[in-house]
């Protein structure tokens, strides 16, 4: 089953745009929610071209280890400014910051 790139891109944007302030998602999670589990790299590709768009909080997307993009140091500053919990080694504390359906309970 081939991938619907146009729809995939649209879904990725919608998902990322829905991430609450101070919360993060992983590339794999976005790909999964968009309906294509093994396309985490494609998510990264799309967001790379979306950095210019201030409408999209693409800085709230990190890799599965909670590590920000090595080639984009500004991302860490943006996250810290939102109060995202970082561990001493420089990676996000995913246990606290990752956005999932359970996180919806905290927003109440």
CB atoms within 10 A of CB 13: 19
Tokens of 71: 């080639």
Phi-psi region of 50 (alpha: psi -120 to 50; beta: other; left: phi over 0): alpha
CB of 104 to DNA, least distance (A): 21
What is the Cα 62 distance to its own chain's centre? 5
Going residue by residue from 35 to 64, which x/- string records binding to DNA, judged by CB under 7 A? Answer: ---xxxxxxxx-xx-xx------xx-x-xx
Using CB under 7 A, pick the residue from 7, 80, 87, 104 that binds DNA: 87
Using CB under 7 A, pick the residue from 22, 33, 72, 103 that binds DNA: 72
CB of 36 to DNA, least distance (A): 8
The C-alpha atoms of residue 2 and residue 67 are separated, in whole angstroms, by 30
Binding site for DNA (CB under 7 A): 2-3, 5, 26-29, 38-45, 47-48, 50-51, 58-59, 61, 63-65, 69-72, 75, 87, 89-91
């Amino acid at each position: 089953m081939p991938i619907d790139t146009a729809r995939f891109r649209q879904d990725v944007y919608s998902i990322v745009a829905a991430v609450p302030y101070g919360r993060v998602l992983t590339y794999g999670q976005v790909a999964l929610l968009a309906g294509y589990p093994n396309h985490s790299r494609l998510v990264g590709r799309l967001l790379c071209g979306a950095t210019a768009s201030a409408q999209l909080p693409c800085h709230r997307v990190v890799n599965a280890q909670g590590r920000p993009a090595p080639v984009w140091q500004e991302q860490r500053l943006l996250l810290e400014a939102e109060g995202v919990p970082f561990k001493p080694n420089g990676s996000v504390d995913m246990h606290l910051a990752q956005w999932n359906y359970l996180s919806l309970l905290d927003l109440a």
